[in-house]
Chain A
Amino acid sequence: MRAVRVTEYLDIDLVSEQWVCNRCGFEIGSAHHPYKLGLLLRQRDPREVHPVLNDHPHFNFSFDPDWIRLIEFYCPGCGTLVETEYLPPGHPLTHDIELDIEALKAKYLEK
């Protein structure tokens, strides 16, 4: 097995040790680093996605942008929405998956 599918949209190529888009094959970056470094990032007002139901400035069934912003991560090859994060403005991003690549290779590469 050369590639392991790690998420819905991300593979790791065990030979090149790269993150790869599962949809278009775009090489995103080193599997030893966060895949988010190789994606396109967009900050959005969460109210663009989550509809406001009433005219209250804060309690309207959507997110309050003063407290939380939506970040979308796109594959630069095909524009697939690979991941979302909801973070306070300026908060550090999440290095969500940090795999032990050597252990992964030992587990899958020879099979």
Chain B
Amino acid sequence: MGRLRDRMVLLPGLVYDRHAYGKGPGRDPELLVRGVEPPSDLEKKGMQLFDDVEEEIFHHKMTSVVEEAREVYQALSISEGIITGDMNASIFTSEGDPAVVATGIYFHTLLNYAQAKYILKYYRPDPTVGLRDGDIFFFNDPTCGGVHTFDMFVTAPIFYEDLLVGWAEVGGHQGECGSISPGGFSPTATTRWEEGLHVHALRIGEHWQLRRDIFDFFLNSVRNPFVFAADLKARVATCKRIRDRVMRECQRRGPVAVMGGLRRILDTSAKLARKRLSLVPDGIYRAILFNDGVGTDEGLVRVPTTVIKEEDHMTVLVQGVSPENFKGPQHSTWHLVKASTGVYLFTYFFRGLAPNIGLLEPVEFLVEGPSIANCTEEVAHGEGTTIAAMVVQNLHVIGSKMLFSSPENLGVCAPFSRNVFINVYAGTNIYGYRTANFTGPQNGGGQGARFDMDGEHGCGFFWASVTDIGEVEESDTRLPLVTLARTTDKDFHGFGKYRGGTPCMEVSMAPPAGCLVTTRGASDRLSHNPGLFGGYAGPPNPRFIIQDTNLVELMQNSDPRLVFRQYELAKDHVIAGRYRFESSSQPTEPFQHGDVFVYSVGGGGGYGDVLERDPEAVMEDVRTNVLSIEMARDLYGVVFDPATLSVDTEATVTRRQAMRVERLQKGKPFAEFMEEWSQSQPSPEILKYYGDWPEPRVKGYRKPFWGLYDDPTPRRE
């Protein structure tokens, strides 16, 4: 490693390159951290059978297999998350590494492999288990290599005669898992024992038949047995489809060629990733985000990210993280942080390269633990994605700064919206079966502004580019709610030279029979949607509910004042009722017919100085109702006729020049600024879960800038 990386100081007594928990029944974290397995002798032999052209043809064929599998799985599933794309379908190498993956969600590209490796290492040689053609394994335990217990997977070995050539794997966010809150997410959970089923890698079927006794056990363990049964069968059927198509390729090319081809895909990805990295300036890059809690009890916590990039290698260092605290489910695992970075890296940094685990071969991950980013096994971690996503957002800002001067600068942009707020609706749907899940607008987050244009409105899910928000009519029948509107919103994005996209805002109400709602979220007092190069962040996103309303009456009278948008509802209170603005981390609660839920996942960050935004673009935002007249005038400095929205160009230039002069008058030189700034500090109540202030893991360590420790041996106290 190089001289920049040598400046790192890792604190004694903490772990960085592995999990903060150790081995347990069905769990061997070493299998999660060691990266792509070295090729076996047979794989080496198979790799020799390809030239670059044949490899490309083979890769395309395998991609078509998993893409077809994705469509099969989504068509067969009746879970909202799966249908809208929160899923994956994969082919693993014979050694258990994910080689070809259809998403859905990029982090699934980089997870769920350790279970296959565990089976290979521990169960295959064990005479009480073994491994045979037609075996079906189920898993959802996050400590064994998954995300959270609500993401459920099936894997099946692909044998050609007696030779194991690979694995089929399919799964995604099914939701309900028998946790203390219906639908999976349990904001009040503080330990894993409140988060439902934890299945490591359990053989649930043989000869492609599900075992009835195990099947019944599962159905008796969840609140939505009909949905669970349908989705489990969908996963098995999809694995079978993958297996059958890979078998045909084995018949055509021979099994050794298939094994070698899958392994070669990973090597090619690693080679291309190194080439991409070598185009980026060497240096150390940093970004930081804060959260307003890890569960229902609020408290500031910190997640910084440092990237050290030298030649064709980079280290992602997550250090100075707030300690784990057992106060809620927002605790991530080491492997979830690593896998989540694929969300940014595969979409933007390594754009154009085949997304698989080979791309991360030149990337080293060091995640400080025990901490909220690398937790121990007992703590609840159902919402660890919130913490992992903070690393991803940091990496997005860092990556844009790394790429800006490189030939690959088309990927420069502010981060996607990640102020996650999910309502989980539970009850009996109009078909008469019990159900518990979220609706699609979580897949309609605002895109961050790009270096040359605005972010798209309601663009997609932070976690996955290949998702959609689903059909209103379908979610209204599958789930106990009535959707009133899906729309954009006003002033609910990051401002800048190019603005972020506004989210898809869903306004809905409880149906005549009522429903239960659990809400998980973060970013109520702050935001995880930073801007870039002077752009402002997307705004915070607390929960907004109106109870005991007169909505049904207003609708019966076709009241013309009704506007189903967050901006108007929050400001004007046209609907009579009890307005609740609160933390988005809330336990399960019953709601009555006519209670209103206002819900989105937030707006994307802005890019560049607001005073450089084209005044006509500002007016277009006003015309399309995503920007208020006040913001156009006061923040963007545009002078215009409010009746016609015609811009006074000359007056705008003068006004903006005056605003720049005001900046120069109010801005202070660094030393003067720091004299005042360094005296301030949040209250002890706010800092109760933070760790030491300001450096959570080193008492009394304070510098004008946070970063690598300049004292080679800072003491922990």
Task: Determine the distance from Cα of A97 to Cα of B678 in the docked complex, in whole angstroms.
Answer: 22
Give the size of the chain A interface in residues (CB under 8 angstroms). Answer: 62
A17 CB–B CB distance under 8 Å: no
Give the residues in chain B near A104, CB-CB below 8 Å.
281-283
Task: Determine the distance from Cα of A68 to Cα of B539 in the docked complex, in whole angstroms.
Answer: 12
Chain A residues 1 to 58 lying within 8 A of chain B, measured CB to CB, are 4-9, 34, 36-43, 49-51, 53-54, 56, 58
The answer to whether B281 and A100 have CB atoms under 8 Å apart is yes
**What's the minimum C-beta distance from A2 to chain B, rounded to whole angstroms?**
14
Indicate which residue in A4, A36, A83 contacts B533 across the interface (CB closer than 8 Å).
Answer: A83
The answer to whether B664 and A68 have CB atoms under 8 Å apart is no
The answer to whether A8 and B290 have CB atoms under 8 Å apart is no
Task: Determine the distance from Cα of A74 to Cα of B664 in the docked complex, in whole angstroms.
Answer: 7
B374 CB–A CB distance under 8 Å: no
Q: A88-B290, A88-B682 are in contact. Are A59 and B542 (CB under 8 A)?
A: yes
Q: A63-B525, A100-B282 are in contact. Are A83 and B663 (CB under 8 A)?
A: no
The answer to whether B540 and A7 have CB atoms under 8 Å apart is no
Give the residues in chain A near B609, CB-CB below 8 Å.
9, 80-82
Task: Determine the distance from Cα of A96 to Cα of B706 in the docked complex, in whole angstroms.
Answer: 10
The answer to whether B704 and A93 have CB atoms under 8 Å apart is yes
Which of B268-276, B375-383, B424-432, B563-571 is the interface stretch?
B563-571
The answer to whether B541 and A61 have CB atoms under 8 Å apart is yes
Indicate which residue in A7, A37, A61, A103 contacts B401 across the interface (CB closer than 8 Å).
Answer: A7
Indicate which residue in A4, A79, A98 contacts B285 across the interface (CB closer than 8 Å).
Answer: A98
**What's the minimum C-beta distance from B545 to chain A, rounded to whole angstroms?**
11
Give the residues in chain A near B283, CB-CB below 8 Å.
97-100, 103-104
**What's the minimum C-beta distance from B316 to chain A, rounded to whole angstroms?**
15
Indicate which residue in B287, B583, B680, B707 contacts A89 across the interface (CB closer than 8 Å).
Answer: B680
Residue of A nearest to B628 (CB): A51
Q: Tell me the number of A-to-B contacts counted with CB atoms below 8 Å.
A: 221
Chain B residues 393 to 408 lying within 8 A of chain A, measured CB to CB, are 397-398, 401, 404-405
B683 CB–A CB distance under 8 Å: yes
B607 CB–A CB distance under 8 Å: yes
The answer to whether A68 and B290 have CB atoms under 8 Å apart is yes
The answer to whether A43 and B673 have CB atoms under 8 Å apart is yes
Q: A80-B534, A81-B609, A83-B534 are in contact. Are A59 and B663 (CB under 8 A)?
A: no
Q: A40-B663, A41-B668, A74-B667 are in contact. Are A60 and B581 (CB under 8 A)?
A: yes
B21 CB–A CB distance under 8 Å: no
Residue of B nearest to A99 (CB): B283
Give the size of the chain B interface in residues (CB under 8 angstroms). Answer: 85
The answer to whether A99 and B667 have CB atoms under 8 Å apart is no
The answer to whether A49 and B635 have CB atoms under 8 Å apart is yes
Q: A51-B491, A66-B686, A103-B282 are in contact. Are A38 and B670 (CB under 8 A)?
A: yes
Convert B656-691 into 0s and 1s, putting 1 for each residue whose CB lies closer than 8 angstroms to a CB of A: 000111011011111001001111111100100000
The answer to whether A89 and B682 have CB atoms under 8 Å apart is yes
The answer to whether B663 and A81 have CB atoms under 8 Å apart is yes
Chain B residues 467 to 520 lying within 8 A of chain A, measured CB to CB, are 491-492, 495, 497
The answer to whether B630 and A51 have CB atoms under 8 Å apart is yes
Count chain A CB atoms within 10 A of each CB in B530, B631, B707 and give the residue with the most: B707
The answer to whether B533 and A53 have CB atoms under 8 Å apart is no
B537 CB–A CB distance under 8 Å: yes
Task: Determine the distance from Cα of A57 to Cα of B24 in the docked complex, in whole angstroms.
Answer: 46
The answer to whether B290 and A74 have CB atoms under 8 Å apart is no
The answer to whether A40 and B282 have CB atoms under 8 Å apart is no
Chain A residues 70 to 94 lying within 8 A of chain B, measured CB to CB, are 70-74, 76, 78-84, 86-94
B611 CB–A CB distance under 8 Å: yes
**What's the minimum C-beta distance from A23 to chain B, rounded to whole angstroms?**
9
List 17 additional contacts besides A7-B404, A50-B537; criterion CB under 8 Å.
A8-B497, A34-B705, A36-B670, A51-B491, A54-B571, A61-B539, A67-B300, A74-B664, A74-B667, A78-B660, A80-B609, A83-B533, A87-B290, A88-B290, A90-B682, A90-B694, A93-B704
List the 9 closest pairs (A to B, CB-CB), nearest first. Answer: A40-B667, A79-B660, A59-B542, A64-B525, A8-B533, A99-B283, A89-B680, A90-B680, A41-B673
9 contacts between A and B (CB under 8 A): A50-B539, A54-B579, A82-B533, A88-B300, A90-B679, A94-B706, A94-B707, A97-B401, A103-B281
